[in-house]
Amino acid sequence: MRLLLTCASLLSLASWSILRLKVSLRETLAQFHEAGVRSIPFVAVTMGFIGMIGVYQIASTMARILPEFSTLGAATLQGLTSEMGPVMAGLLLATRVGTGMAAEIGSMKVTDQLEAMKLSSVDPVEMLVVPRLLSSAMAGLTLAVMGTAVAYFAGLAVAWFGFSILPDTFMSLRFVRMHDLWVGVSKAVTFGVTVPLVSCACGFDARGGSEGVGTATTRAVVYSSFAVILLDAFISWVAEVLVR
């Protein structure tokens, strides 16, 4: 409950800062480099394996039931675009970036650096939270698009070499609707905002010494991953209702 209140408070204060254009471009770009650019190898390798494993499992099952693979590529792309791409990017962001944010802010909290910021009349939300929210929203979208592409092409390689499905057959857009694209983009941006919000809130709520920082880091990865899954279900549900 306390964490939810902190998240709500941080979101409202950060939104107010953004509306007043109180945004440090330099810090936002630095954070984007940390959250987005430096996450590329981790996300690319992970999504590559997910794409390969996913296609291998589906193709193996299809081979046993109905050895017809013409829809495999289109179905894979549709699933990756609206579901697996943004969700996995969100979860990987929580693991790699959220923990770092919670540890950094938590450590600043327990060593009174946040209080010192306030005493220097520097708003910690404006200085720490806003750049992380904006950069992570951009990083969430970028990583989701890149991760989807990597997973798809890794799956294509497995389909081609493992099941002799030609790239021309695999590369099909016929199941992907504009609706899937919007759902995917909405999820990626939402997760990109949620992960730093929850992680920063865990950092701001840190208490005690190094144990408090450790607890904040654990809470950040648990609650931001949980939030990603819950929001995924919610956005999927809303999207289905809207389509109907």
Partner 1 sequence: MNAARLVNVSKSFGEHDVLKSVSLEIPTSRCTFVVGPSGTGKSVMVRHIVGLLRPDSGEVYYQDARVDTLPEERLYDLRRRCVYVFQHPTLFDSMSVLQNVSLVIRYHTSHTPAQADALALEQLSRMGLESRAQSRPNELSGSEQKAVSLARALALQPETLILDEPTTGLDPYAAFELDNHTGRLAQTGMTLIIISHDLRSIRRLAHDVLFLLHGHVRFHGPARDFFASTDLAVRQFVEGRVEGEI
Residues that bind partner 1 (CB under 8 A): 26, 104, 107-108, 111-113, 115-123, 127
**C-beta of 118 vs 174, nearer to partner 1:** 118
**At its nearest, how many Å lie between partner 1 and the CB of residue 95?**
21
Nearest to 57 by CA among 90, 41, 79: 79
Instruction: Return d(Cα 28, Cα 5) in angstroms, integer.
Output: 25
Instruction: Return d(Cα 150, Cα 24) in angstroms, integer.
Output: 32
**C-beta of 104 vs 180, nearer to partner 1:** 104
Tokens 């962001």, located at residue: 93
**At its nearest, how many Å lie between partner 1 and the CB of residue 212?**
16
Angstrom CA distances, 179 to 133, 144, 159, 189, 237, stand at: 26, 16, 26, 16, 13
Phi/psi for 58 (5° steps) reads -65, -45
Nearest to 215 by CA among 206, 224, 225, 223: 206
Instruction: Return d(Cα 23, Cα 30) in angstroms, integer.
Output: 13
**C-beta of 127 vs 185, nearer to partner 1:** 127
Tokens of 225: 């991953």
**C-beta of 109 vs 187, nearer to partner 1:** 109
Instruction: Return d(Cα 133, Cα 137) in angstroms, integer.
Output: 6
Crossing angle of helices 130-163 and 2-19, in 10° steps, is 100
**C-beta of 93 vs 101, nearer to partner 1:** 101
**At its nearest, how many Å lie between partner 1 and the CB of residue 124?**
11
**C-beta of 127 vs 157, nearer to partner 1:** 127
